[in-house]
Homo-oligomer: A and B are copies of this chain.
Amino acid sequence: LDPGPSRVAIVGRGLIGGSIELALAQRAPSIEVVALDRGEDLAAIAGADLVVLAAPVLENISLLRAIQPHLGPSTIVTDTGSTKAAIMEGAQGLRFVGGHPIAGVAGAGRTFARADLFAGRRWILTPGHSTPAADIKTVTVLAEWCGARVELLDAVDHDRIFALVSHLPQLAVSALMHVAGTHSGEEALALAGAGLRDATRLAASPPEIWRDVIATNRDSVSKALDLLIQALVEMRDDATGEALTRIFASAAASKRRLDDAPI
């Protein structure tokens, strides 16, 4: 019977770190939680058996080094970033299990933190090839305290998949809202129907988070952008409507699969 970690340190108290804090207070009230704002003295993490890095990706990668003096031999480290290969690379030599909780709909920042942000959602872990099962188990307990269910994935596969199903959608929506907003004029934007409003919810996402995500997954994101650009060029040069028909049919079929898939 695995009691899970008894002392958890969280570095970063935004939407993700803050929500983990709230979930632990609710679901695991007997464990000790130390939560640090970015920039606070990392000495406070000493004695933790699990450290959760919940800052933007590049800062998490820097923190891997900065926390080292404060880690014991049995301290496990995990993170919550949206890319996994770069941080796995940087974490060599640590007892590290990469993590990526898939949050539900929320705004950005601590204001939107909720104990149930991860309830019923996936929490992907990307252990290395030689990661002990016990370390994976410790992070799994944390995810389950947050109400999530764990799925294991190879870090490189993770990044390739999320380039297509998460990073590309974010860039496409931001580019679309930028173009529609910049070129249509003030009153014109008011003429948009529900379609544009629904399609562009992601356009409010914080650039400082996404800059790091894209920077640490550049190859896969470039390839995904090329595929999207290619499809748009085909529709632009589509004299007969053939490309539109083909791409709409493919999109409708994928949309059905997406909506039928469990969350």
A205 near B248 with CB under 8 A, answer: yes
Task: Please tell me if the beta carbons of A192 and B165 are within 8 angstroms of each other in the complex.
Answer: yes
Give the CA-CA distance A256 to B181 in the complex, in Å: 10
* In the assembled complex, A43 has its CB within 8 A of some CB on chain B: no
Alpha-carbon separation in the docked complex, A212 to B201 (Å): 28
Across the A-B interface, the 5 shortest Cβ-Cβ residue pairs: A181-B254, A207-B248, A190-B261, A165-B192, A175-B231
* Complex Cα–Cα for A204 and B259 (A): 11
Whether B228 pairs with A175 at a CB distance below 8 angstroms is yes
Closest to A244 in B: B211
Contact check, B197 vs A258: say whether CB atoms are below 8 A apart. Answer: yes
Contact between B226 and A178 (Cβ–Cβ < 8 Å)? no
In the bound complex, CA of A258 to CA of B185 (Å)? 11
Query: What are 7 residue pairs bridging A and B, where the CB atoms are less than 8 Å apart in the complex?
Result: A166-B193, A169-B195, A175-B235, A195-B201, A205-B252, A229-B229, A229-B233
Contacts of A67 in B (CB 8 A): none
List the B side residues contacting A174 at CB < 8 Å: 247-248, 251
Of the four ranges (under 10, 10 to 19, 20 to 34, 35 or more), the interface on chain A belongs to 35 or more
Complex contact B181–A253 (CB within 8 A): yes
Looking at the complex, which of A21-29, A44-52, A99-107, A140-148 is the stretch in contact with chain B?
A: A99-107
B224 touches A186 (CB 8 A): no
- Check if A122 is an interface residue, CB within 8 A of chain B: yes
Interface membership of A222, Cβ < 8 A = yes
* Chain B residue nearest to A247 in the complex (CB): B178
In the assembled complex, the Cα of A102 lies from the Cα of B196 at a distance in Å of 12
Inter-subunit contact A195/B184 (CB<8 Å): no
Given contacts A165-B189, A169-B180, list 13 more A-B pairs with CB under 8 A. A105-B194, A122-B191, A165-B191, A169-B192, A169-B195, A175-B231, A180-B254, A182-B254, A195-B201, A198-B198, A199-B202, A203-B255, A211-B241
